[in-house]
Structure 1
Amino acid sequence: MTDWAQVRDTGYAVPEGRSPAELVTELAGMLRSPDPVVRDRQAYSILATWIGRGVLSAAELRALGDAMVPRFGDPEIQARTFAPLILDAIVTAGVFEPSWVPPFERWYVAEEDLRGYDEKLGWLHAVAHGADLLGTLGLHSAVEPVQMLRLGIGRLLTPTSYVLRDMEDDRLGYALAVTLTRGDLSDSDAVDWLDPALRALANPPVEGITPEVTNTIRTLRVLYVLADHGVRVGDAKKLTPVPRREQVKTKLADVFRIVTPYYL
């Protein structure tokens, strides 16, 4: 049996005499564990480190990505929410399959368990983990950026009883901002994805400010700040400007004004 704690504590070196492919299968299984130490501190941290260091071949990364996709339909919440983190690392490392995108989109907008942290399961972070992958896909040349923008606003407007916490709205706001740095977005594409928010907020539910309205406004406020100041993409030292900064800010202000007319 592999001593994964020792692997982590000794700088994530691949254990002598073991092949990465063999070990990845074991680690992928551990990603479903309800034990946050096994899942997060061991399986995820080791896999993410190995992916980032180039330990795994492109074929091994593709196989790992294919193994993650069915987990979007897994009955266990922790299995569902750690799949996008691994896919994010794989796509960032340069391996991408178009077939991975639709299952992610279906899961992200439909996930009902939006807890950030659970006392027994540890970090779950469906919205934040999905946002990380959304932002990476939003920058990928093989993915239409407006597709990710629409996914983000769809996630926000989906009815829920849960108000986001633990900086999840910031993570999604950042992902949307990163996607908006794409130079191939048309003028209309850069702002029209916000129309569902305008329509939803213009017809408020009878019960008043619902959690999804709160989540939407908070996330879009993050986006406004990033659109105004620029976005730090990846490890870049300089901020990347949002090409249609003023148009985006104006449309966001239209959204805010419906709920908080005193705000802008």
Structure 2
Amino acid sequence: MRNRIALMLSLMLLSAAGPVLADCPPAGTDAGSLQLLRQQEFALADDGLRDTLAMGLLDCLGDPDPALRDGIAYEGVTVWLRAGQLSEALRGQMRDRLYVLLDADDPEGFRQPFAALLLAEVARTDRLQPWMSGKERATMVGHAVTYLASVRDYRGFDDAQGWRHGVAHGADWLLQLALNEQVDRTQAESMLAAIASQVAPESAHAYVYGEPGRLARPVVYLAHRGLLDQAQWQAWFAALPPRLGEPAQAYADSAWLARRHDLMAFLMSVYLEADQSGDAQIQALKPAVVAALKTIP
């Protein structure tokens, strides 16, 4: 069965006329053949076919159909990345193509969050076995912090359309970078600045899809790295409550209340992670978190 699926996909891709650019499903495939591949856990023995399909599926990350966008494009490429089935050269091409998608117009709001989420998987491969140069990694950190700080579409999940979840996906990307021993203190500080910008958004969106917990995770793992000292963590957490707005707005303004909701959820997420951790560096976050909580009306 798996050989038949691979042969069918190979024939379809080879018979496609013209270059495979911005087509979803990729030229030469259809939703049925891709669903069959998913049922077979994306098993493809032909390296060339897998590489071609992996790059082609990137254009499906903006598809409005969640089964194609999330269930096939993101899931399939992630399976191949985690199995080590995509070469360093192809990962580099994929990373650069994802940067383009990240910067492209995204009126429906799907492409950018899923490009960020797949870039988290690319970053994971470099964390586990470094293959990017220092310059390439620094460029990735720059893209990641710019993306997270720029998110203004706060839609999370829709029953018909599935996930967007830009803040959470950006946080997942930063998590993989936070875990990377090659990421230095200056880069870590830029990541923390991006996280701080979304902890209590100025637009006063009340998070309901787990975003505060996702934002907390890269903070916790940066603490594990020991890149900042206790005074620096105190200062970082102390700078969060002023983001709520004017004190006169306390409990008298819906935007202030939404920001308070988000900030409290974030701080409690960090505190819980620190309280349950056996890592002394992570546990050391607790006093700074408690001090910040005490300043919130």
Place the TM-score, normalised by the shorter chain, in its bin: 0.7 to 0.9
Establish whether residue 245 from structure 1 lines up as the match of residue 283 from structure 2.
yes
Once the two structures are TM-superposed, the CA of residue 133 in structure 1 deviates from its matched residue by 0.8
Establish whether residue 217 from structure 1 lines up as the match of residue 264 from structure 2.
yes
Once the two structures are TM-superposed, the CA of residue 18 in structure 1 deviates from its matched residue by 4.8
Q: 1:222 to 1:75 in 2, by over 3 A?
A: same
Once the two structures are TM-superposed, the CA of residue 151 in structure 1 deviates from its matched residue by 1.9
Once the two structures are TM-superposed, the CA of residue 136 in structure 1 deviates from its matched residue by 1.1
Establish whether residue 23 from structure 1 lines up as the match of residue 53 from structure 2.
yes
Residue 235 (structure 1) aligns with: none
Matched length: 250
Greater shift in the superposed pair: 164-173 or 186-195: 186-195
Greater shift in the superposed pair: 148-157 or 38-47: 148-157
Q: 1:210 to 1:14 in 2, by over 3 A?
A: same
The structure with more radius of gyration: 2
Establish whether residue 149 from structure 1 lines up as the match of residue 192 from structure 2.
yes
- How many angstroms apart in 2 are the aligned matches of 1:74 and 1:105? 17
Q: Which amino acid aligns with 1:100?
A: M
TM, length-normalised to structure 1: 0.86
* 1:195 equivalent among 232, 235, 238: 238
Aligned counterparts, 1:58-69, within 5 A: 58-69=88-99
Q: Which amino acid aligns with 1:138?
A: A
SS of the residue aligned with 2:230? Answer: coil
SS of the residue aligned with 1:84? Answer: helix
- How many angstroms apart in 2 are the aligned matches of 1:56 and 1:27? 14
**Conservation of the 8 A alpha-carbon contact between 1:115 and 1:162:** no
- How many angstroms apart in 2 are the aligned matches of 1:130 and 1:242? 27
**Conservation of the 8 A alpha-carbon contact between 1:81 and 1:125:** yes
- How many angstroms apart in 1 are the aligned matches of 2:163 and 2:121? 18
SS of the residue aligned with 2:205? Answer: coil
Once the two structures are TM-superposed, the CA of residue 153 in structure 1 deviates from its matched residue by 1.3
**Conservation of the 8 A alpha-carbon contact between 2:241 and 2:263:** no
* 1:83 equivalent among 102, 106, 115: 115
Structure 1: gaps spanning 5 or more residues = 231-239
- How many angstroms apart in 2 are the aligned matches of 1:60 and 1:173? 31
Aligned counterparts, 1:25-104, within 5 A: 25-76=55-106, 77-94=109-126, 95-96=131-132, 97=136, 98-104=138-144
Aligned-residue sequence identity (percent) comes to 23
- How many angstroms apart in 1 are the aligned matches of 2:154 and 2:215? 13
* 2:162 equivalent among 119, 122, 147: 122
Cα-to-partner distance string for 1:102-142 (whole Å, 9 max, x where unaligned): 22212211211111112342111111111111111112233
SS of the residue aligned with 1:55? Answer: coil
Residue 256 (structure 1) aligns with: 293
Residue 12 (structure 2) aligns with: none
Query: Could you say what the CA RMSD is over the residues aligned between the two structures, in angstroms?
Result: 2.1
SS of the residue aligned with 1:243? Answer: helix
**Conservation of the 8 A alpha-carbon contact between 1:78 and 1:121:** no
TM, length-normalised to structure 2: 0.77
Structure 2: gaps spanning 5 or more residues = 1-27
